[in-house]
Each structure stands twice: as structure tokens, then as C-alpha cells.
A and B are shown apart, each in its own frame.
Chain A
Amino acid sequence: MFAQFFGAYLLNNKLVSPETLAQAIDDKKNTRMRLGVLAINAGLMTAEQVEHVNVAQQSVDKRFGDLCVDLGYLTSADVDRLLSEQPTDYLLLGQTLVNNGTLTNAEFESAITAYKEHYQLSDDDISNNQNDKLSAIVKDFFHFNTAENARIYTEYVTLLFKNIIRFIGDDFTPLEASIVNDAEAEFIVRQKIHGKYTADVCIACPRSEYIDFAERFAKEELSDADEYVNEIVGEFLNVNNGLFVVNESNQLGIELSLDPQNYLHDSSVKFDCPAFCIPVAFAFGEVEFIISIT
């Protein structure tokens, strides 16, 4: 999830365009990490030093790592360690953007440093997918601290993104949230969670995105936005909400229940209190997740 929010960070700081980011997300599965980006990320080399080695490599028949050692930027042990580490997803995204010329090494260095500083992330946090750090990013990114039910919004949306990665795919970018009182879309699936509090949750999108989303979850080809597709998208929402309800029960002893889902076509939903509308840009298009908690 750090990669998706790193993408959002680059987008919000206008370091990439939405189209370039979407392409890079698609391309990163074929990207191989290079030592320069790994060394910058680890804080062992500056972008300037990496550029120096790149220039030096043009006149010497040596590998990048060997040159780094010759020039005193890295030790052999540093090179071995960096090359043996499993690259994290956000690094693959960064490397892809450096490879295709969107970012220079210096821009990557500046962006990754600022991203980590902003969210107070260490490499260990990212490698271990630290849950509290993920929640902190979600809370900050969507400004949930301004909401009355900040904890619930944060827990819910953190789980939602984990389930999107688990069931739909990791090729998405979360976009800035807006506050809405109602939602209107070609297709809407809605489910309410009741108990100590009420959460009113919707998935809303146009027809094509609705079918694509369902195809990802069902892992089967679908052609029409019919009742079966409704039920697939509804089942994703139901599974996500069910897991949330179980977490609340197990961790805090809060007992909640779920209503059956409602399916709306070319219609609108009015919320009892203002809702957070979170658009998510997938490779196949944009889907909105709208959550109102009272």
C-alpha cells in the first residue's frame, strides 16, 4: 500500500501526470531495480553521486557497483546487501519513472526523501508493511483527523485498501477525497453497518468500470452489467464490511451487524450526514468509495 500512496504523493505534487503514473504502474511489473536507485533510497548515495558514476561508466568498462566501490561511494558489502534485498513496490514504481525519463535521479531522491519524512517512514516500516504506519498515511492523506469518527474512518479505509489490493489488484492510485452529501452514478452498490454507530458505504462508478471491477473480483469474463455483476460487486462490499465488523468485534468488542446490499442503477443516494468520497484510479478507470459514519 506504500507504493499506491507514493504514487498519489507524486501525483499531488505534480511530479507525474495521471497518464504517466498509470502507465508506470502497468510497466513496473517488468522493471528491474538498478543499484543507483537502491543506493539513493537507502541513503547511501546522493543522486549527484549516482550521476557521477553513470558518467564515469561511459568511459570505463566496469559494472556500476564496482565503480561505486572504486570511487568510495559504497563498500562491497553495501553493494551485496542492496542487490540481495527484495525490491519493494514503491521502489519499482520509482525505478520505472526514472527509467522512462519522467523523474531524474535527483527528483526521485527528493521525492522519496520528502515522502518518507512526511509520513515518518523508515525502510523497515515499508518492508514489514507496518499496520500503524499504513493507518497513519490513510488518516493524513484523506484528512480523517477533521472527522468526528476519525478512528473508524481510518480503520475502515485502511482495511478497504488492503482488500482492494488482495481481491482487485495493486494497480491503482488513491485520489484526494471530497466531502459529499449525496452520490450519483450509473451503478451504485450500498450497504449499511449498524450497531454502536452506523456506517453507510457505497461503491459508485460508470458501467464499464463496474464490469471491470466485478471481473477482477470474480476472476471471470463478464459482458453486461446485469444482476450477476451487481452481486459480484455487492459480494466484494459484503466481504470487506464483514471483515471490518469482525475486526471491530475481536479488537474492541464492538458488535455490529450488516444490512443486505442495495443495488441502484442511474440513481442517487442521499446520506444522513456528510460522507467522504474517495475516488480510486485503477488501470481500467475510476471507482468511488463513499463512506458516511454517524
Chain B
Amino acid sequence: MDFKDIKILICDDSMFARKKMSMFLSSLGVENILEAADGEEAVSKYKDNNPDLVFMDIVMPKLTGIDALKAIRDYDKKAKVVMASSVGTQSHLKQAIVLGAFDFVQKPIDDAQVEKIIRNAMK
């Protein structure tokens, strides 16, 4: 699989978390990386750019990751949104599954898990 052809949107209110994820994706060869700092921006950037995959934090200002997931899936039923959060509780997992999240990763994010998820998403 050629990572350079994939477009990925990272949505996290932490600049540090975005930078870490972005650096890892770059190391895989992903060239088209978009960033959003809150749920509202994530929805807007999704609509404007139609990324192949979204990594979405949950606890964020303006619009939570769960609300942003719902908005994105309402807009595009085929959207692949991976919830990447420090709060992987049973209720969040259930909510994310019901709303059609593609996968869930618990922070601190494991790079190998992220790579596996991308490969699965691009199959």
C-alpha cells in the first residue's frame, strides 16, 4: 500500500497531540495530512477535503469528538472516523460504535496500532 496517496485528517485540541500524530504519519510516508483543533473545524475540513481517514479526539471545546463523528457520518455514510482518545470508557465505546466509528484507539497512542488501522481502512 502506498501511504503517500492517502489523505488523513487529525482532529485534536492539543497541538502537541496533533504534532506527534502528524510526525508519525509523515514517517509512514503519508504526505496529505490535515489538522483540526476542535470538532467544528473537523466537520468543516472533512466537508471541504473529503479525507480517506479521520483520527478524532473526544474531549474538545466547541464540538466534542462524538458530536463531530455524528455530524461527519450524517454528511458521509462512508466516512472512516477513528476515535483516538484518552477516555476509552465503555459508554464512549458504545456511543462511538453506534455512531459508526471505524475504530477506537486509547491514548497514549500506540504507533503500531495506528499503522494497522490505516492498513485496515485502506483495504
Binding site for B on A (CB under 8 A): 167, 218, 227-228, 231-232, 234-235, 238-239, 241-243, 245-246, 249-250, 253, 255-260
Contact = CB atoms under 8 A, between A and B. Distances in A.
A235 B17 contact: yes
Which DSSP category, helix, strand, loop or mixed, fits chain B's interface?
loop
A260 B86 CA distance: 12
A257 B58 CA distance: 10
A63 to B, nearest CB: 45
A249 B17 CA distance: 24
B106 A242 contact: yes
Nearest to B20: A218
B90 A238 contact: no
A238 B60 CA distance: 11
B86 to A, nearest CB: 2
B90 A228 contact: no
B91 A255 contact: yes
B87 A258 contact: yes
Contacts of B61: 260
Contact of B108 (A167, A231, A255): A167
A245 B87 contact: yes
A167 B108 CA distance: 10
A257 B60 contact: no
Interface stretch (B8-16, B25-33, B40-48): B8-16
A8 to B, nearest CB: 27
Contacts of B20: 218
Given A235-B16, A246-B89, A258-B87, 17 more contacts: A167-B108, A228-B16, A231-B14, A231-B17, A234-B14, A238-B59, A239-B86, A241-B86, A242-B87, A242-B106, A243-B86, A243-B106, A245-B86, A246-B87, A253-B90, A255-B90, A260-B60
Nearest to B38: A260
B16 A242 contact: no
A241 B88 CA distance: 11
User: Which residue, of A227, A246, A257, has the highest number of chain B Cβ atoms within 10 A?
Assistant: A246
Given A167-B108, A228-B15, A238 B89 contact: no
Given A231-B16, A242-B86, A250-B90, A258 B59 contact: yes
B119 interface: no
18 contacts: A228-B16, A232-B16, A235-B17, A238-B107, A239-B108, A241-B86, A242-B85, A242-B87, A242-B88, A242-B106, A243-B106, A246-B88, A246-B89, A246-B106, A249-B89, A253-B90, A257-B59, A260-B13
B40 to A, nearest CB: 14
A227 B108 CA distance: 20
A246 B108 CA distance: 13
Contacts of A256: 89
A211 to B, nearest CB: 14
Interface string B81-107: 000011111110000000000000011
Contacts of A255: 89-91
Contact of A257 (B14, B87, B90, B106): B87
Contacts of B17: 231, 235
Contacts of A235: 14, 16-17
A232 B108 CA distance: 12
A242 B14 CA distance: 14
Contacts of A241: 86
A255 B88 CA distance: 11
Contacts of B14: 231, 234-235, 238
A236 to B, nearest CB: 9
B15 A245 contact: no
3 A-B pairs with least C-beta separation: A242-B86, A249-B89, A231-B16
B61 to A, nearest CB: 6
Nearest to A214: B16
A260 B17 CA distance: 14
B91 A249 contact: yes
